[in-house]
Amino acid sequence: MKVLVTGGAGYIGSHTVLCLLEEGHDVVVLDNLSNSNAESLIRVQEITGKQVALQEIDLLDSAAVHGVLRGGNFDSVVHFAGLKAVGESVVDPLTYYKNNVAGTINLLESMQSAGVHRLVFSSSATVYGNSENVPLTEKLHLEATNPYGRTKQHIEEMLNDLCTSDPTWAVALLRYFNPAGAHESGLIGESPVGVPNNLVPFVAQVAVGRRDKLFVFGGDYPTIDGTGVRDYIHVMDLAEGHLAALGHIQRNCGAFKWNLGTGKGSSVLEVVDAFGKAAGRSIKYELVARRPGDAAVSYADAAAALADLGWSARRNLEQMCADHWRWQVSNPNGYER
Ligand code: NAD
Ligand code: UDP
């Protein structure tokens, strides 16, 4: 089938494009490259031996988005495009609402007028806020605690309303836990701009010598070793989850929501230890104060995705660190040459 992938040049998008191409689908990427590099798609073509078209377009340019969808003959859209830095969203909420929510409205209007009614959307476990009801199930009430998370929550609500208003829509809301790792080739991976916000890319930059040490945010949580616990999911498992969701919305209409996580939590120090082993060097770190707004523990109840999609994460923390390290050590500056 022919799939439009918004944000397909980014971290999770590029890995999903790779899986789509390997499954024999035609892929067009729509991305404004605001947080990515077209090199990711050149590498995807190298790995797969298949072509992917890039439309360098901003979702806020509704005429251009209409132009891509009109006559594009797409079967489905996978929608990754969005801004994702929690701290930045607190400082500049309007930019986040405009880019993520208004950008999504433009996309949906274009899909509507082109008669394309199948969508997979990148939501996030952040919609659960700081719920202490772990493992987190899809049935929980949503209570995002920052503007970024609220953009995801609002988009989920908008998509639910759209499916209620028009039963020909089929939408998968995928709530990602903590993606990390890279394709096993080491040719594509996460290439953060500036200082990484997330744990694994920060640890990787310490390991490769780009940063002196990791600051561990909080050592006094009620967890196995006092550090925060998260559900780290290999980006290739996550990518494969999108293909399973696309399959489901071929056969079923309505709005569906699934957690994409492993169901297992790891502490910051467990990640540091696993990454150190993968890289064959110790990771220097310093325990500092908690990061405001952080939950102590977050991990998925992954049963629904298994039951409905037959999907579950197959790769463990060790493989994730080994793959992330292979990418980092062969591309110390990411896609910046
Ligand atoms: P990313 O920044 O690597 O990819 C997002 C892509 O969208 C980038 O290529 C960027 O250039 C593009 N983009 C942003 N705004 C755009 C616009 N207005 N028009 C066109 N393109 C635009 O991020 P990622 O880690 O691959 O995340 C993909 C999606 O998954 C995002 O929606 C993110 O919020 C969501 N998500 C990510 C995580 C995570 O930890 N990485 C966790 C949960 C959810
Ligand atoms: N973390 C940390 N140092 C960092 C980045 C993150 O100690 O430089 C911790 C953070 O407090 C949390 C875990 O690592 O317990 C995962 O953080 P991340 O930002 O990657 O994901 P999120 O908190 O959004 O789930």
Range of the structural domain that residue 152 is part of? 2-181+232-262+300-313
Residue 168 predicted with pLDDT over 80: yes
Ligand 2, CB within 6 Å, residue ranges: 178, 197-199, 202, 214-217, 228, 230, 268, 291, 294
Peptide bond into 147 cis (omega under 30): no
Q: Is 17 part of any domain?
A: yes
Q: Which ligand is nearest to the CA of 286?
A: 2
User: Do residues 12 and 176 touch, judged by C-beta distance below 8 A?
Assistant: yes
Residue 337 predicted with pLDDT over 70: no
pLDDT, averaged across the chain: 97
Give, using CA atoms, the residue closest to atom 15 of ligand 2.
228
State which amino acid sits at residue 123: S
- 21: domain CATH number is 3.40.50.720
Q: Is 13 in the pocket of ligand 1 (CB under 6 A)?
A: yes
Give, using CA atoms, the residue closest to atom 20 of ligand 2.
198
Max Cα distance, the chain (Å): 56
Number of domains in the chain: 1
CA of 237 to the centre of ligand 2 (A): 20
Give, using CA atoms, the residue closest to atom 24 of ligand 2.
198
| Whole-prediction pTM | 0.98
Q: Which ligand is nearest to the CA of 287?
A: 2
CA of 242 to the centre of ligand 1 (A): 15
pLDDT-derived band of residue 147, with 50, 70 and 90 as boundaries?
very high
pLDDT-derived band of residue 71, with 50, 70 and 90 as boundaries?
confident
What confidence score (pLDDT) does residue 47 get?
98
Q: Is 315 in the pocket of ligand 1 (CB under 6 A)?
A: no
Catalytic residue check, 148: yes
What confidence score (pLDDT) does residue 336 get?
83
Q: Is 274 part of any domain?
A: no
Q: Is 235 in the pocket of ligand 1 (CB under 6 A)?
A: no
- Our mutation pick for probing the ligand 2 site, out of 213, 294, 297, 298, counting the most ligand atoms within 8 A of Cβ, is 294
CA of 88 to the centre of ligand 1 (A): 14
Q: Which ligand is nearest to the CA of 193?
A: 1
CA distance 239 to 310: 14
User: Do residues 219 and 227 touch, judged by C-beta distance below 8 A?
Assistant: yes
Rounded percentage of the chain residues whose pLDDT exceeds 70:
100
Determine the Cα angle at 134 with ends 137 and 163, to 5°. Answer: 20
Q: Is 214 part of any domain?
A: no
Residue 180 predicted with pLDDT over 90: yes
Q: Is 11 in the pocket of ligand 1 (CB under 6 A)?
A: yes
Rg of the chain taking only CA atoms, in angstroms: 19
Q: Is 282 part of any domain?
A: no
| pLDDT tens-place string over residues 78-126 | 999 999 999 999 999 999 999 999 999 999 999 999 999 999 999 999 9
| pLDDT tens-place string over residues 282-323 | 999 999 999 988 999 999 999 999 999 999 999 999 999 999
Q: Is 192 part of any domain?
A: no
- Our mutation pick for probing the ligand 2 site, out of 84, 217, 235, 324, counting the most ligand atoms within 8 A of Cβ, is 217
Q: Is 318 part of any domain?
A: no
Determine the Cα angle at 213 with ends 209 and 217, to 5°. Answer: 145
What confidence score (pLDDT) does residue 158 get?
98
For residues 47-61, give the mean pLDDT.
Answer: 98
CA of 91 to the centre of ligand 2 (A): 19
Residue 53 predicted with pLDDT over 80: yes
Q: Is 38 part of any domain?
A: yes
Q: Is 205 part of any domain?
A: no
Q: How many CA atoms lie within 13 A of 205 on its CB side?
A: 20
Residue 229 predicted with pLDDT over 90: yes
Which residue in 11, 96, 97, 148 is the catalytic one?
148
